[in-house]
A and B are shown apart, each in its own frame.
Chain A
Amino acid sequence: MTAIAAPKAASPAGPARRWRRSARRWGWPYLFVAPFVAVFVAFSVYPMVFTFRLSFTKWHGAGLAEWVGWENYGYLLSSPAFWESLRNSAALWLLIVPAQMALALAIALLLNNAALRLRNLYRVAIIVPFVTPLVAVAQIWIVLFDQDYGAVNSVLKVFGIPDIGWLVTSQWAKPTLALLFIWKTTGFIMIILLSGLQSIDPAYYEAAAIDGAGRLRQVTGITLPLLRRTLMFAIVMQTLAVFQMFTEPYVVTKGGPYNSTTTAGLYLYNHINRADLGTGSANSFLLVVIVMGLSLLFVRLLSPKD
């Protein structure tokens, strides 16, 4: 970029004229990005700074906020409930993300096969849960997984399996919630992976086939390495989603039984809901730090080595 220096040398014009010209040259780009910057500052920077400031106060939404320094952070970091909410989210991550990635990849590979008939129909069918309102799905889940009158236990009973307290025992509530999340969002992940698959040059597969590589070898030798960046994106997305998970436990289990499904997102909401805005703000920043750390970790682990 030599644009700044060029007018200086070429133009004999006075400083005012040079300044105007320079302002025109530099001004336009700023003018074009100004609307975005304004919206970004209003809806992202401002809330973030506001929240950060709030995290050092005790404020219940009215009157003066009381400055408490690091007290809210100290309280959270020494609170067993805070760590339990993180453990719950981590357990849900383990139940959801690996299984979902494998499932979404398998479906994407299947739907990427040009020989498959009714491909578009399957694609639509798989994305339908993702576009269905979550609250409606959650209500269906409650009915399906009712311990005494749910369809799932009725089917299991046919095979002699006794009633399972899917939503009312701490042992089963997390897997049931994980199942709901997987069912709801796998279609979205599949679409992301499918777009990654379609960007792989078919020539690689043709060359591999000529060299005698079978289907499995092609997947492990070509597909997975070339899909690494897309997979990384999907994993980071789902990590964010799982740690912010709120609606599913809020509607289905209210965080119970015994807080076993109180996710990090729901725990944060509980502070806000009872107008403990300072602690809620501190909690949200701790969550940002944790999720950012995890995301960076995955980016590092999954970045292509080329």
Chain B
Amino acid sequence: MKDTPTKRLATLAALVLAVGLTAACGPDIAANTPSGPTSEPPQTNPDRLQAPSEASPTGEIVIWDRSGDLYEVFDAVIESFNAKYPGITVHHEAVDIAAKLQNTLITGTDVPDGVFLDDAYVAGYKDHLWDLSDVLAPYLDKITKQKIDVNTVADGIYGVPYDLDPGLLFYNAAALDKAGIDPAAINTYDDLLAAAKKYQDYRPSAKPIHLEQGAWLGQLQLEMYANQLATSMADANGELRLNSPEYLKILTWLDEVAKQGLGTRAEYLTPSDIGALEAGDEVFYPWAIWFDFAPQQQLPITSGQWRAMQLPAWETGGARGGAMGGSSFILPKQGKNSQLAWLFYEFLMFDETGYTAVYGPNKVYPGGLNTSIPAYQPAADPAKPLFKPVEALGNQDLWTTAIEAGKQIPGGTPTPTWWDGAVEYLGNNVQKMLDGAMTPQEVLDQSAKDIQANLVDRQ
């Protein structure tokens, strides 16, 4: 076939046409006009979800949960939900939420009605989600403030608070007993440092305090310490406030632990970590309540020797509670039956039958779900434990310990949309500091500068 100018022109025209047509299928583009906050009065805001008015609504909902134990737990609750709402069919799916949610929301294809999500990600999906302020209104004064705060962006609440994950100080009671250390005497982080030194004197190979080596979890733990001091990386308006005396205090303490050789540098429950825990070289683990999974499943040698207590305070009389992680349920606006999904989560979280089924003894957790506590305060009654004492913690009444720690958690702020991205800067710089390559002040200066330039300013 001869390549004539006409054919060339036709080919070029076809190409331009194809490109033009395909380009037209992208998102609508506004010319440098960032959208501002809505000026509508809250009562007429169409982004706010309303509860269904029917007494016995009918329909089908698709609920996404991450696979694993929690999926099994929530799956088992559907039966009692259907006893209350027989007309609602729940399609419960185990999904890799981190991998699928963003694409699903962007494309609007097969969007689920409700999704289980880490609190750290809720704000990032805000534009896709129902504002739950109205449906949550009857419960707001009974939900732990920190959980409302982390789900709040501007004037909206974008997640149904699920669990509260108070930080606790896990310790190997048997090992401390042999070293003559009384854990009850550990009231401040200085006390913890002194106890660690004493333990190391008793057992020279020990590096008693866990120093997280993973950048992401290290940053999450740092936020737990910061939450104790009622601060966080960003304030309620999303302004960066990292470079502060509170963060300096925390980093200085962590730096001290590292410099004095009192910390086991390991990633959470990797072989190095487990080995040190089982050997009795690592005996203090300041972490979220969900660390109790380790003595129950991962530490066969020292299982039964571990106990949990409230976190030490940063100064005498200071708060001994701080939240580390946590999850909520989000309801995408593109879901087909969001109102019915709300009923499902309302049942799970705020109905006694529902939350008892979630946290109480079940097939997956015969003693009850003890890796978190409810964020809904009527469910978190110290006098009415939902889960039993934990055998791997020497039959300790973890319920009461965790509830008391939860009460001490100061309020929080919305997790900024860029929190995850900050790991690249703050998370890594903390690791550099623990390796002796940066000072605490350098970490704060450099991280604040980088986060501001690369994340906050580019929002």
Contact = CB atoms under 8 A, between A and B. Distances in A.
Contact of A1 (B2, B18, B31, B106): B2
Contact of A81 (B19, B26, B454): B454
A226 B279 CA distance: 59
A41 interface: yes
Which of A54, A64, A150 is the most central at the interface, judged by chain B CB atoms within 10 Å of its CB?
Answer: A64
Which of A46, A259, A277 is the most central at the interface, judged by chain B CB atoms within 10 Å of its CB?
Answer: A46
Contacts of A68: 32
A277 B31 CA distance: 17
B184 interface: no
A150 B271 CA distance: 8
B271 A67 contact: no
Contact of A276 (B25, B105, B458): B458
A254 B215 contact: yes
A81 B275 contact: no
Nearest to B19: A49
Interface stretch (B373-381, B405-413, B415-423): B415-423
Nearest to A62: B127
Interface residues of A, number: 46
A254 B268 CA distance: 14
A47 to B, nearest CB: 9
A194 B106 CA distance: 45
B9 interface: no
A256 B431 contact: yes
Contact of A67 (B30, B127, B267): B30
A97 B265 CA distance: 33
A220 interface: no
Contacts of A262: 424
Interface in A170-219: none
A149 B271 contact: yes
A50 interface: yes
Contacts of A149: 271-272, 274-275
A66 B30 CA distance: 5
A54 B27 contact: yes
Given A49-B19, A149-B271, A258-B428, A64 B420 contact: no
B102 A64 contact: no
Contacts of B458: 58, 75, 276, 279
B31 A67 contact: yes
Contacts of B216: 254
Contacts of B2: 1
Contacts of B417: 60, 274-275
Nearest to A51: B26
Contact of A64 (B28, B128, B266): B28
Contacts of B454: 79, 81
Contact of B272 (A65, A148, A273): A148
B34 interface: yes
B270 A65 contact: no
9 contacts: A45-B19, A45-B22, A49-B19, A146-B271, A148-B266, A149-B275, A168-B213, A255-B424, A272-B102
Interface of A: 1, 41, 45-46, 49-50, 53-54, 57-68, 75, 79, 81, 142-143, 146-150, 168, 254-259, 262, 270, 272-277, 279
Interface of B: 1-2, 18-19, 22-23, 25-35, 102, 105-106, 124, 127-128, 213-216, 265-267, 270-272, 274-276, 417-418, 420-421, 424, 428, 431-432, 454, 458
CB-based closest 4 A-B pairs = A62-B127, A149-B271, A64-B30, A61-B106
